[in-house]
């Protein structure tokens, strides 16, 4: 497995990480704990060193799972987690009913970190993200609280998720950011306009989540695909039958290039991300061993400058149908 450094930091991780959310949250009921522990440990054996979780995934279940699975490998892995919500264990994980309110007050961050340390079974959190920007708390106060935690030895690196460029700059001035985590893929390219140039200027790494478009870019979905009510995608405008049908043009593009490269559409989508910048580290999630192997295999797929031009040219003609999130959740991004 190749390694990459996140921006100007000394944080080195595997070129592809593993997003752990779907093991406990959002994509149907929580998966079998022992099976997921086994999957996480196979990931380590195959060279993955970067694992992404959050207190809200479950809530709490995912951090506990990751903590148990990775305890034997603590010195060889980087664990990232997130704070930023008032959590009620009974809220609907689809994010539509009883969704938790934002809370990034400094005293709340301190408590959230203490709790995450216990669940993750670690003495220090490698990378701590603010999960969503809280408009009620100045980002300078948030960055200051994380700076204090770094000085206390409880956190090593600071990150933001789905933040806008002004927020990134203001936070970075107080406590240098190691990474920004936001959605980025061939069908969500908004970060290219302002965010990626800003990260490059400031020396901040980029961690794209949903790099396979929540499964869409694997080529395994069409307009007949249905989602259980416990699956977060059942609430997303981009996953209506009409949108899935309209967006198939992207899958056709990936499929044709995958055929030339003797790869899969998912591998092409991940290889495309890796080719954008040397400090980009995607974190595809999976609950299946064969998908884990497929995603790791993307590191070996080499896209030439001609391949990249062909992908960009074709993708630019494909208008993506449907918003990423329902309006309420969309308003929590890009602040």
Active site residues: 57
- Which residues lie below 8 Å from residue 305, measured CB to CB, with a gap of 6+? none
Q: Label each residue of 167-230 as H, E or C.
A: HHHHHHHHCCCCEEEEECECCECHHHCCHHHHHHHHCCEEEEECCCHHHHHHCCCCCCCCCCCC
Q: Cα(first)–Cα(last) distance of the chain, in Å?
A: 35
> What pairs with residue 161 in β-bridges?
181
What is 225-288 written as a DSSP string? ----TTBGGGG-GGGSHHHHHHTHHHHHHHHHHHHHHT--HHHHHHHHHHHH-TTB----B-S-
């Amino acid at each position: 497995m190749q390694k990459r450094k996140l921006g100007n930091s000394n944080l080195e991780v595997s070129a592809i990480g593993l997003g752990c959310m779907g093991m406990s949250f959002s994509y149907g009921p929580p998966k079998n704990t022992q099976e997921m522990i086994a999957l996480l440990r196979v990931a380590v054996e195959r060279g993955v060193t970067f694992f992404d979780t959050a207190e809200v995934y479950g809530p709490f279940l995912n951090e506990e799972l990751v903590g148990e699975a990775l305890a034997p490998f603590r010195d060889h892995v980087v664990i990232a987690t997130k704070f930023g919500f008032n959590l009620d264990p009974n809220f609907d994980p689809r994010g539509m009913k009883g969704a938790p309110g934002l809370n990034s007050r400094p005293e709340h961050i301190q408590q959230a970190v203490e709790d995450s340390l216990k669940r993750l079974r670690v003495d220090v959190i490698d990378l701590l993200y603010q999960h969503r920007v809280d408009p009620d708390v100045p980002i300078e106060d948030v960055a200051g609280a994380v700076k204090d935690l770094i000085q206390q030895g409880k956190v090593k690196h600071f990150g933001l998720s789905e933040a806008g460029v002004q927020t990134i700059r203001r936070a970075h001035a107080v406590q240098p950011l190691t990474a920004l985590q936001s959605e980025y893929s061939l069908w969500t390219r908004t970060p290219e306009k302002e965010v990626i140039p800003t990260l490059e200027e400031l020396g901040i790494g980029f961690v794209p989540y949903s790099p396979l478009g929540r499964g869409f870019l694997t080529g395994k979905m069409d307009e007949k695909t249905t989602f259980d009510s416990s699956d977060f995608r059942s609430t997303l405008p981009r996953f209506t039958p009409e949108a899935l049908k309209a967006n198939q043009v992207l899958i056709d593009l990936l499929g044709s290039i995958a055929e030339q490269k003797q790869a899969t559409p998912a591998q092409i989508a991940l290889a495309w991300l890796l080719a954008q910048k040397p400090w980009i580290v995607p974190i595809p999630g999976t609950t299946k061993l064969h998908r884990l192997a497929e995603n790791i295999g993307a590191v070996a797929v080499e896209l030439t400058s001609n391949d990249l031009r062909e992908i960009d040219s074709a993708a630019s003609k494909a208008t993506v149908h449907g918003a990423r999130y329902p309006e309420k959740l969309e308003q929590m991004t890009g602040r």
